[in-house]
Amino acid sequence: MAEIQVSPIKQMEYRASKISDVVSLAQGIPSFDTPEVIKDNVKAAMDADLVARYSLPQGLPELRDMISQKLAQDHMFYDSETEIIVTCGAIEALSATFQSILNHGDEVVLVSPSYASYPELIKVAGGKPIFADLVENEGWRLDVTAIEKKISRKTKALLICNPNNPTGTIFTKQDLTSIAELALQNGLFLVLDEVYKDFVYGEEPFYFLAQEKKYRQNIIRIFSLSKSYAMTGWRIAYLHSAAENIVEILKVHDSLVTCAPVVSQYGAYTALQRGDGAVKEFTQVYNRRRNLMCHRLDKMEKYLTYQTPGASYFILPKVLVRQGSDSWKFCINLLEQAKVALVPGVAFGPSGEGHVRISFGRSDDDINLAFDRMEKFFEYL
């Protein structure tokens, strides 16, 4: 296991926590507290002696029913009894999935740049991550041909984060369909991580590939409550797929965590039932912060260029000064000299190098303070 590492995002947060007066736009932590309505109902569940004991490994039946109903609103039809597992966050959902579907040495094709923890959890599952680059100058477009070229006899799955962390890209229906066809034709699993699907800033409704019956056996879709409902600390998410996949993933999930924390399952139930207002409110604020960040970035065009994110609360600008070519070194300099924590782009795959990830999940004040400091930092380089 020497080849795997603690997520660079957390390494950066840990370094930042050791320096006073740092402003961090690093880890993707919502600035908001969990909505009161969720906390109130969790307290009621605690009072009613509902949280002390294990749930079934797949989760509370009423929560799975609620998930099934919410999925149906987006035209995804999954049976609450046999096709849904409540998990201890999206990371556990992904780990249980890959530990279930991968044999030792199997390959998973994923895009670069994409979420930093993917390669690590694929490696822990005994698999090998294979990167296919996104097309940066076309708004970090999915390159279906590049993905197809990476498929080998050892490939077991494709992994797509949509909207994509760290680029904030919403992949097009057409490109997603091409990827699904690749999965179908090659007998591959298509793992879809859609944890940012609620933070979408355009007019176009988000397209859910998991609504297509044709790909039901291939698709394993993951959604987390963490971002949409400001619940990262609660470790609560779910996955859904065809029953024959779920029965296998459930065994691994059971042996990883027994069940998701029950207190958080009650939180998730209320979030799905009554949290829509909070999600809308958060989305409006994040959109405003996105515009603020783009405005601040526009003023730094000598130093940073960027593709406008259509979703999520991340942006991945390219660093134009020579120091930025080693993004780890650059971020450590920025942290130590300007007391601003960002995540080095190389954390997100080979083609992330030369970039930095900035989160606009944090407060306006933090964003403005970080950019004030960065402007000075670049001027004195």
Chain residues in the site for a second copy (CB under 8 A): 1-2, 4-7, 10, 13-14, 17, 27, 29-30, 32-34, 39, 42-43, 46-47, 49, 51-57, 88-89, 91-92, 95, 99-101, 104, 117, 120-121, 124, 126, 230-236, 248, 250-252, 254-264
Residue closer to a second copy, measured from CB, 242 or 320: 242
CB of 39 to a second copy, least distance (A): 5
Structure token digits, residue 30: 């919502």
Q: Which contiguous run of DSSP H or E holds residue 23?
A: strand 23-24
Cα atoms found within 13 Å of the Cα of residue 199, Cβ hemisphere only:
33
Residue closer to a second copy, measured from CB, 261 or 324: 261
Structure token digits, residue 302: 């000598």
Tokens 């009161």, residue located: 36
CB of 226 to a second copy, least distance (A): 8
Residue closer to a second copy, measured from CB, 5 or 178: 5
**CA 129, CA 121: separation in Å to the nearest integer?**
9
CB of 158 to a second copy, least distance (A): 19
CB of 1 to a second copy, least distance (A): 5
**CA 118, CA 188: separation in Å to the nearest integer?**
17
CB of 91 to a second copy, least distance (A): 5
Decide: residue 346, CB within 10 A, 0-12 exposed, 13-18 middle, 19+ buried.
Answer: buried
Residue closer to a second copy, measured from CB, 89 or 168: 89
Structure token digits, residue 119: 């390669």
Choose among 54, 118, 114, 113: nearest CA to 88.
54
CB of 43 to a second copy, least distance (A): 6
Choose among 369, 371, 377: nearest CA to 306.
371
Residue closer to a second copy, measured from CB, 136 or 193: 193
**CA 199, CA 206: separation in Å to the nearest integer?**
10
Residue closer to a second copy, measured from CB, 164 or 232: 232
Amino acid of residue 54 = Y
Residue closer to a second copy, measured from CB, 23 or 319: 23
- Cis-peptide into 163, omega within 30 deg: yes
Residue 354, SS3 per DSSP: coil
Please list, in sequence order, all residues whose beta carbon lies within 8 angstroms of the beta carbon of residue 369, skipping any fewer than 6 positions away: 23
CB of 369 to a second copy, least distance (A): 19
Residue closer to a second copy, measured from CB, 108 or 236: 236
CB of 93 to a second copy, least distance (A): 10
Q: 281 vs 32, 164, 167, 271, CA distance in Å?
A: 11, 21, 22, 14
Residue closer to a second copy, measured from CB, 52 or 153: 52
Structure token digits, residue 159: 């992994």
**CA 188, CA 1: separation in Å to the nearest integer?**
26
Based on its alpha-carbon atoms, the radius of gyration of the chain, rounded to whole angstroms, reads 20
Please list, in sequence order, all residues whose beta carbon lies within 8 angstroms of the beta carbon of residue 348, skipping any fewer than 6 positions away: 112, 113, 114, 115, 116, 165, 166, 316, 355, 357
Residue closer to a second copy, measured from CB, 218 or 265: 265
**CA 254, CA 39: separation in Å to the nearest integer?**
27
CB of 86 to a second copy, least distance (A): 12
CB of 232 to a second copy, least distance (A): 5
